[in-house]
Amino acid sequence: MQLEDMILVSVDDHVVEPSDMWEGRVPQKYADLVPKLVPQPDGSDAWEFLGNRSANAGLNAVAGRPPEDYGFDAMAFSEMRPGCYDVHERVRDMSANGVLAQLNFPSWPGFAARQLLRTPDKDLALAMLRGYNDWHVEGWCGEYPDRFIPLGLVPIWDPALIAAEVRRLSRMGCHAVTFAENPVPLGLPSLHSDHWDPFWAACEEEGTIVCMHIGSSGRQVMTAEDAPAGVTHSLTAVSTMSAGADLVFSDIFKKFPTFKFALSEGGIGWVPYLLEKLDTHYAHHRAWTGEDFGGKLPSQVFRERIITCFIEDRVGIENRHDIGVDTITWECDYPHSDSTWPDSPEMLWKQIGHIPDEDIDKITHENAMKAFRFDPYPVRPKEKCTVRALRAEATDVDTGYHYVTKRQSLAATSAALRDQQDRAQESKI
Amino acid sequence: MQLEDMILVSVDDHVVEPSDMWEGRVPQKYADLVPKLVPQPDGSDAWEFLGNRSANAGLNAVAGRPPEDYGFDAMAFSEMRPGCYDVHERVRDMSANGVLAQLNFPSWPGFAARQLLRTPDKDLALAMLRGYNDWHVEGWCGEYPDRFIPLGLVPIWDPALIAAEVRRLSRMGCHAVTFAENPVPLGLPSLHSDHWDPFWAACEEEGTIVCMHIGSSGRQVMTAEDAPAGVTHSLTAVSTMSAGADLVFSDIFKKFPTFKFALSEGGIGWVPYLLEKLDTHYAHHRAWTGEDFGGKLPSQVFRERIITCFIEDRVGIENRHDIGVDTITWECDYPHSDSTWPDSPEMLWKQIGHIPDEDIDKITHENAMKAFRFDPYPVRPKEKCTVRALRAEATDVDTGYHYVTKRQSLAATSAALRDQQDRAQESKI
């Protein structure tokens, strides 16, 4: 097997919603209320909704720019690659990178629909959420059913409504939803509460996977006010590790025996450590805590029910057998700043080129296709799904660097990042 | 090399201070003010100090009890092995476990002298802190200079006083101090502030190592109020990882080029992941963040200046080359509930018996002896330092399980643990 033979299914990328996202997708009475993308005096574009403005901000749309040009902008559509928001251009960028398919997380709504959790009129919020899902499943993924795994939002404020939306999404062919890695910082009951049981029951019935992306809880590790951004950025896996521990110690897996969780963008290199720690804790303490994992080790429960993913993670690949080769998936993270686009095959191959073909196939696409119930082959024959075949379809895509004149200094960028973190912390409604 | 040939130097164990700790070690005017150990109506013993009572609480003195008998007690000295508080019995317990030497963290004062940080009369606090150090260095470690690495407390409320105490300790032959893994939750400036420079300067001059034990900041990961204790316990490494990231991104290593930090009880299996993440972050973001590690990779800085330790950590041992074999030390954690006493050699050998002798020697004692400037051989010839030799000196020690009639139900224990966590959270003075 060679680099060009890989089939790449990425389980974590991002869509920057286009300005017409809700057009024709909410009831007429709400047509004027949905967010509008409005050019701002400083040259940026911002979403305006119910009197609030939110920038389309940050390191979330820098694909195609050289690293020294990264920053809190792009904040205008003109500063982004069209692949950020135009599905046809997105597919061309994917092909140029040899990527067969992607799972796209939302931008404006937040990974756990936080913008809509905050919306006081819950009828409006639900209409918008369904509008987003309709757009995402039909208007975005539906254009290229062989190239996207649909990912729905759930009305996180009401478990009964979540269950109904999981079922509606399933009927639309969408078998994955995005949720908070920890609902507590959002002001909602924890994963240890039975509050969410209707949600889990619907996932169990429909075979829907629940994705928990880093940052989805609105809480990040902040060691100190004056710590450089690198500290928080290097510790993003902490919330993923915490979600993993919460899930293992919760009653969810005992009550609902089959559906799965995906921990998104949290990396994999820490998994062997956490699994050993869970088992050591269990060995030392179960006699007095009464912990019970149905006769299994906690590590076994983790491997059976949780999948993880990585962008670059040599350590995780070397330790794949301690993680569980069947639980590892790959991600590209386009168009965010940690993405390996447009050299993903080359960067990935450096880390996995030496392992057995069987493991490469599982990690690059088979595990993802199984967990997300995604089968592109009826639409696109397998031999057209390889890096080689896809890149041959997109030889005219310009993947070179393009500078954007930065509107913000590094200091302003840091201040804006800090603001964003503060707002995330304050969002306990 | 066989199991019995190992020489074991443990860099993390705990002393339960005896009731006469301060006797004759504070100025006469404070003799009546120091904490007194007072039997309580419920049968426990508690320290009473300035009108406050603090239990000698928790999973910190369970050595010799079967796991089903663990809990928030022992809270009375009669419920503990004498090795918890009696140095002669401690040494016998160490010998029975084949352990040559230990570094002992304090109990009542807190790992970062928090009890004294809270004491309003700072003259009294400093007198008590020096009294503790005098007792620890002379009265505890001094009894057996071949069996203990002394570890001093620092007056965390004043960097100039810290520097003076570091120098005083150094003159007493004590080259290690215990500090907070993050001073921020204690209400103090962060590691990114220059507030602590006098402290670091003294460590640099004296060649003193700074230990950061889990829990020393008073902050633990708490995902939810209703999360089982196992969640927090499985995530103890998070604060250690955070301390590692804080240190690497701080200016400390640039300003003071040689002294070291020890991350205590945080495990090692996560280190390869964090080091790769630090380097990946640096590769993607340095161009716009301007991060500068003096021409080195952040992983290199970590390996040069930080040592880590483990109790049981197969994953870390298997990945020792990615961690840095010269940076790994071992701990026994006597008499806490995660300790491997009295089977430490057997449990450790399972994890390291198959690696090269050279690596075993580094991990079991050579790295610790170097980092902590500890040399027992002038007092005790090397051939008398092995597991075999030490166990032969203590064949009469009873290492069997002894039940203690538990005074607390599991529910009461959990409630007490929660209280303790709450108090830790509230301790921002």
* Contact yes or no for B376/B150 (Cβ under 8 A): no
Q: How many C-beta neighbours within 10 Å does residue A222 have? A: 17
Inside any domain, residue A416:
no
Query: If phi over 0 gives left and psi between -120 and 50 gives alpha, with beta otherwise, what is residue B246?
Result: alpha
Residue B231 to residue A245, Cβ atoms within 8 A:
yes
Find the helix packing angle between A237-249 and A271-289, rounded to 10°: 40
Q: How many C-beta neighbours within 10 Å does residue A72 have? A: 24
Q: What type of residue is A185?
A: P
Number of domains in chain B: 1
**CB < 8 Å to A338, chain B:** 280, 284
Q: What type of residue is B341?
A: W
Residue A285 to residue B315, Cβ atoms within 8 A:
no
Tokens standing for B162? Answer: 């810290």
* Contact yes or no for A105/A12 (Cβ under 8 A): yes
* pLDDT over 90 at B77, yes or no: no
Mean pLDDT across B279-292: 89
β-sheet bridge partners, residue B104: B13
Cα–Cα distance, B412 to B246 (Å, whole number)? 36
Residue B209, helix vs strand vs coil:
strand
Residue B278 to residue A234, Cβ atoms within 8 A:
yes
Q: Which residues, 6 or more positions from B193, have their beta carbon under 8 angstroms from its beta carbon?
A: A226
In chain A, % helix, strand, coil (3-state, to 5) comes to 45, 10, 45
Residue A17: phi, psi to the nearest 5?
A: -65, 135
**CB < 8 Å to A272, chain B:** 269, 315
Which among B190, B249, B269 is the nearest to A273, CB-wise? B269
Residue A195, helix vs strand vs coil:
helix
* Contact yes or no for A119/A109 (Cβ under 8 A): no
CA distances from A23 to A82, A121, A131, A151, A279 (A): 20, 19, 9, 20, 51
Mean pLDDT across B274-303: 93
**CB < 8 Å to B245, chain A:** 223, 230-231, 234-235
Residue A246 to residue B225, Cβ atoms within 8 A:
no
**CB < 8 Å to A314, chain B:** 276
CA distances from A283 to A298, B180, B232, B340, B350 (A): 10, 29, 16, 11, 16
Interface test with B, best of A247, A284, A323, A331 (most B CBs within 10 A): A284
pLDDT number for residue A70: 66
Tokens standing for B231? Answer: 């969640």
Cα–Cα distance, A84 to A203 (Å, whole number)? 30
CA distance B65 to chain A (A): 12
Residue A71 to residue B288, Cβ atoms within 8 A:
yes
**CB < 8 Å to A270, chain B:** 270, 273-274
Residue A337 to residue B234, Cβ atoms within 8 A:
no
In terms of Cβ atoms closer than 10 Å to its own Cβ (0-12, 13-18, 19+), residue B421 is middle
pLDDT digits (tens, 9 = 90+) for B188-209: 999 999 999 999 999 999 999 9
pLDDT number for residue B163: 98
Residue A234 to residue B281, Cβ atoms within 8 A:
yes
Inside any domain, residue B46:
no
Which among B190, B229, B282 is the nearest to A289, CB-wise? B229
Q: How many C-beta neighbours within 10 Å does residue A274 have? A: 28
**CB < 8 Å to A344, chain B:** none
* First-to-last C-alpha distance (Å) of chain B: 52
- Which residue in chain A has the smallest CA separation from B292? A230
> Mean pLDDT per 10-residue run, chain A (429 residues)?
98 94 95 90 84 68 72 71 95 98 95 95 97 97 98 98 98 98 97 98 98 93 94 96 98 97 98 98 87 95 98 98 98 92 97 98 98 98 98 95 60 50 42
| DSSP code per residue over B117-140 | HS-S-HHHHHHHHHHHHHIIIIII
Q: Range of A309's domain?
A: 3-39+93-394
Task: Give the residue from A116, A11, A86, A59 showing the smallest Cα distance to A368.
Answer: A11
Interface test with A, best of B277, B286, B341, B347 (most A CBs within 10 A): B277
Cα–Cα distance, A390 to A92 (Å, whole number)? 9
Residue A193 to residue B312, Cβ atoms within 8 A:
no
pLDDT number for residue B428: 33
**CB < 8 Å to B238, chain A:** 221, 238, 241-242
Residue A192 to residue B227, Cβ atoms within 8 A:
yes
**Which run of H or E residues covers position B100?**
strand B99-105
pLDDT digits (tens, 9 = 90+) for B350-382: 999 999 999 999 999 999 999 999 999 999 999
pLDDT number for residue B58: 47
**CB < 8 Å to B278, chain A:** 230, 234
**CB < 8 Å to B229, chain A:** 289
Long-range CB pairs of A224-227, under 8 A, 24+ apart, other chains included: A224/B182, A224/B184, A224/B190, A224/B191, A224/B192, A224/B246, A225/B184, A225/B190, A226/B190, A226/B192, A226/B193, A227/B190, A227/B192, A227/B246, A227/B249
Residue A315 to residue B276, Cβ atoms within 8 A:
yes
Say which DSSP state B28 is in.
G
Which among A274, A314, A337 is the nearest to B276, CB-wise? A314
The answer, yes or no, to whether the previous bond of A424 is cis (omega within 30 of 0) is: no
Q: Which residues, 6 or more positions from A6, have their beta carbon under 8 angstroms from its beta carbon?
A: A98, A345, A348, A349, A360, A364, A365, A386, A387
The answer, yes or no, to whether the previous bond of B335 is cis (omega within 30 of 0) is: yes
Inside any domain, residue A144:
yes
* Contact yes or no for B80/B74 (Cβ under 8 A): yes
pLDDT number for residue B43: 76
Inside any domain, residue B15:
yes
CA distances from B406 to B62, B68, B409, B415 (A): 12, 10, 7, 15
- Which residue in chain B has the smallest CA separation from A221? B242
The enclosing domain of B239 has a CATH number of: 3.20.20.140
| DSSP code per residue over B263-331 | EESS-STTHHHHHHHHHHHHHHHHHHH---STTS-HHHHHHHHEEEEESS-HHHHHTHHHH-GGGEEE-
* Contact yes or no for B289/B222 (Cβ under 8 A): no
- Mean pLDDT is lowest, of A139-153, A320-334, B1-15, B401-415, for B401-415
* pLDDT over 90 at B42, yes or no: no
Residue A288 to residue B313, Cβ atoms within 8 A:
no
pLDDT number for residue A425: 42
Residue B313 to residue A273, Cβ atoms within 8 A:
yes
Residue B291 to residue A228, Cβ atoms within 8 A:
yes
CA distance A294 to chain B (A): 16
| DSSP code per residue over A30-82 | GTTTS-EEEE-TTS-EEEEETTEEEE--STTS-TTS-GGG-SS---SGGGS-G
Cα–Cα distance, A298 to B51 (Å, whole number)? 44
- Mean pLDDT is lowest, of A222-226, A356-360, B218-222, B254-258, for B218-222
Residue A237 to residue B277, Cβ atoms within 8 A:
yes
pLDDT number for residue B415: 52
Find the helix packing angle between A271-289 and A298-305, rounded to 10°: 130
Inside any domain, residue A315:
yes
- Which residue in chain B has the smallest CA separation from A231? B245
Inside any domain, residue B133:
yes
What ipTM did this prediction achieve? Answer: 0.92
Inside any domain, residue B382:
yes
Q: How many C-beta neighbours within 10 Å does residue B376 have? A: 22
Cα–Cα distance, A161 to A195 (Å, whole number)? 12
Residue B415, helix vs strand vs coil:
helix
Say which DSSP state B235 is in.
T
Mean pLDDT across B30-57: 84
Mean pLDDT across B27-38: 93
* Contact yes or no for B258/B301 (Cβ under 8 A): no
Inside any domain, residue B59:
no
Task: Give the residue from B142, B156, B216 showing the smallest Cα distance to B185.
Answer: B216
- Mean pLDDT is lowest, of A237-251, A265-279, B47-61, B261-275, for B47-61
* pLDDT over 80 at B235, yes or no: yes
Cα–Cα distance, B131 to B59 (Å, whole number)? 26
Which alpha helices (H) appear in A268-409, and where do they start and end? 271-289, 298-305, 314-318, 320-323, 344-352, 357-361, 367-371, 387-392
pTM of the model: 0.93
Which among A226, A284, A312 is the nearest to B337, CB-wise? A284
Residue B184 to residue A224, Cβ atoms within 8 A:
yes
